[in-house]
A = this chain, B = another copy of it.
Amino acid sequence: MSVTIKDVAILANVAPSTVSRVIANNPRISEKTKVRVRQAMADLGYHPNIIARSLANKSTKAIGLVMPSSTDKVFQNPFFPEIIRGISGGAHEKKYSIHMSTGQEEEEIFEAVTHMVGGRLVDGIVLLYSRLDDPVQNYLKNNKFPFIVVGKPHKYEQQITYVDNDNYTASKDATEYLIKNGHQLIAFVGGDPNLVVTADRLLGYQDALKESNLPYHQEYVVHEEFLREGGKEAVNELFSLANPPTALVVTDDVMAFGVLNTLDQMGLVVPDDVSVFSFNNVLLSEISRPPLSSVDINIYRLGYEAAKNLIQKIENPDEPAKRIIIPHELIVRQSIRKK
């Protein structure tokens, strides 16, 4: 059924090894035979068997994608499709293919990773999340298997290659923008406080206030889940304060979208009554009512660089750990009342 290198060899009247060399475009093969062999390949509709090649090469030219557990929830966030798109782009350029991990529960994911790594299905791994004491991360580190994490690692920051934004500065920039536009009562609506992103962005917010000599109030900081209902409770809390904020820094567009809805229900008008600055700049922020000001963290490039640098590490194993910071940009839309 399927045509192999041997069939080609017979038809072209050469040895299998010669065919292999032609495929690799080995310079030691004469043009004549190259032409002849290529013709034979075309005639037979030959395609190299990647599996066999991988076995001989001990390299699969594939990278593994590991999603956070509870992908069900997380996939609702447009962040993931977009970063996968970036990874796909980076991988494609280097002619690597992509293997996705399946599995929802934490244990299943770990299993999927050992399957990919131990089974030598992939040459490296992209971790799409960064958790405290992550067994997957430990496993990869212990096995010295090439991997890169998207986001800042909690531990061993110096020893792990990762791509991230400067979330501290990004948040500081956004907060300062609000301050410059006359806001003094600025609240912070963060996601899971155990996430490094949240912590980084909170710090940026705090420092922005500090540097502008604005007071920092504990009650102005609330944490909610990333998704849909997320904003609701946060907003309720904040606007039942004696001195409700006039502006909000929200760490995720989807959450900000929820905030927008809740404010609307409360009869508060954005941006007249309250201004909102959020993060990620996904499609949603553009088409929301009103369009959201959002920090563009360049998700695509985050993924693209992740793939690129992982592959670099795969092909150059003793390269030291790197840190890649993707620039951000403030995208100002109608959700902010300007001075």
Residues on A lying within 8 angstroms of B by beta carbon are: 2, 47-52, 54-55, 60, 62, 65, 71-72, 75-76, 78, 80-82, 84-85, 88-89, 91-92, 96-104, 108, 112, 114-116, 118-121, 227-228, 257-258, 260-261, 264, 283-284, 286-287, 289
Contacts and interface: CB of A to CB of B under 8 A. Distances in A.
A63 to B, nearest CB: 10
Contacts of A51: 51, 54-55, 60, 119-121
B97 A100 contact: yes
A197 to B, nearest CB: 20
Contact of A81 (B81, B104, B258): B81
B261 A120 contact: no
Given A49-B119, A114-B47, A264-B289, A100 B98 contact: yes
Contacts of A264: 289
Given A82-B75, A287-B258, A102 B108 contact: no
Given A49-B55, A257-B287, 15 more contacts: A47-B115, A48-B118, A50-B115, A51-B60, A62-B99, A75-B81, A81-B81, A88-B102, A89-B102, A97-B101, A97-B116, A98-B99, A227-B283, A228-B283, A289-B289
B102 A2 contact: no
A81 B71 CA distance: 10
Contacts of A72: 85
Nearest to A98: B100
A103 B92 contact: yes
A155 to B, nearest CB: 23
A47 B261 CA distance: 51
B48 A119 contact: yes
Contacts of A49: 55, 119-120
Contact of A102 (B60, B80, B98, B289): B98
11 contacts: A48-B118, A50-B120, A76-B78, A76-B81, A78-B78, A88-B100, A97-B99, A98-B102, A99-B100, A228-B286, A258-B287
A227 B92 CA distance: 26
A58 B293 CA distance: 53
Nearest to A49: B120
A228 B96 CA distance: 32
